[in-house]
Amino acid sequence: MAGKKGFFGPLIRWLLSCFRGVGRVKGKAPTARLITVGNSHFCEKARWVLDMSGTPYVEDAHMPLIHSHFTAEATQGGSTSVPVLVLGEGKVITDSSEIADHIAAAHPSLELYPPEQREAIKAFEEACNTTMAVAIRRMFYAVYCDNLWTQSLLARLYFGQNSIIENILLPITMFFFSRLIKRGGMVVSRVGEYQRDIERVLDDVEQRLSDGRSYLFGERMTAADICFASMAALLVRPTELQTIIGTDAIVPSTYKKLVDHYRSRRAGQFILRMYSEHRLSEGVKAAPFRQDPANKILGLRF
């Protein structure tokens, strides 16, 4: 009997999870759809600015490779990358910085880009988006795609976010995705190289904070802080984000060591502070994963 319970319990939980709606924005009709890969740091930047502005949206999360079907469809072949923000009236934004610009323009009271600092903030954002973000992505996938065990941990993350159809295809997609990562030269032996690119931006951040200021551009939080914290969140895995990037239980030991290293750095501490003080609304404990319930079943939107 105990054996049957042990089998049916997880099975029933899995079946229910396929149909769960993780929070269509309560009381408001969704007006925007954010197409993402759940763990993508570019997507987290978009999610953060959308959440802080109170913009109603649903998240349409997919695993890498499969995501391009949805982004290409939404942009009529214009873009394969995530995030893509599909707004009402046929407007589509295909870049995380443009999403931040859109939110900044629609919500001037957030003061994301104070006019006198706009240019400097944009230049800093560019360093985060290029050197650092690319190196973090390479490091992340090099470690997670390294062997069958680490691949299975990544698959577990996607399993909780995919639609049923995508989950059925998951072993095949994971196999091809891991091969692509390795063919692209993203391997664990190059982690030191990726770290050097990451450290360049972290050193710059620590240099800025060394005069005791609270934020990267002074005493006010700006888009620079949000951009840096969200783009580097995978380095320190803030607890507030674990609803989206998975709990520590599905982190490979090699990656855990990297996280410990970055958490011990001043720049890492800054990211953790940004998450604990600014990422969530008052009283909320974890980043809301506003996944569209329809997406759970077929990956289709109704």
- The residues of the shown chain that bind ligand GSH, judged by CB under 6 A, are 37, 40, 42, 68, 80-83, 95-97, 129, 137
- Residue closer to ligand GSH by CB (options 41, 290) is 41
> Long-range contacts: 209-215, Cβ < 8 Å, 24+?
209/266, 209/267, 209/270
- Residue closer to ligand GSH by CB (options 125, 240) is 125
Report, in Å, the least distance between residue 214 CB and ligand GSH: 26
Report, in Å, the least distance between residue 104 CB and ligand GSH: 15
Report, in Å, the least distance between residue 70 CB and ligand GSH: 11
Q: Positive or negative, the Cα torsion across 147, 176, 172, 138?
A: positive
Task: Provide CB contacts within 8 A for 4, sequence distance 6+.
Answer: none
- Residue closer to ligand GSH by CB (options 42, 57) is 42
Structure tokens at 71: 């982004």
Structure tokens at 173: 């997609």
- Alpha-carbon distance of 282 to 23, in angstroms, equals 17
Structure tokens at 150: 């680490």
- Alpha-carbon distance of 118 to 156, in angstroms, equals 40
- Residue closer to ligand GSH by CB (options 38, 268) is 38
How far lies 280's CA from each of 92, 114, 184, 267, 296, in Å? 26, 22, 36, 20, 25
- Residue closer to ligand GSH by CB (options 129, 206) is 129
- Alpha-carbon distance of 101 to 133, in angstroms, equals 19
Structure tokens at 166: 């995508």
- Residue closer to ligand GSH by CB (options 14, 176) is 176
Residue whose CB is nearest to ligand GSH in the complex, by number = 81
Report, in Å, the least distance between residue 36 CB and ligand GSH: 9
In eight-state DSSP terms, residue 249 is: G
Q: Positive or negative, the Cα torsion across 158, 125, 33, 54?
A: positive
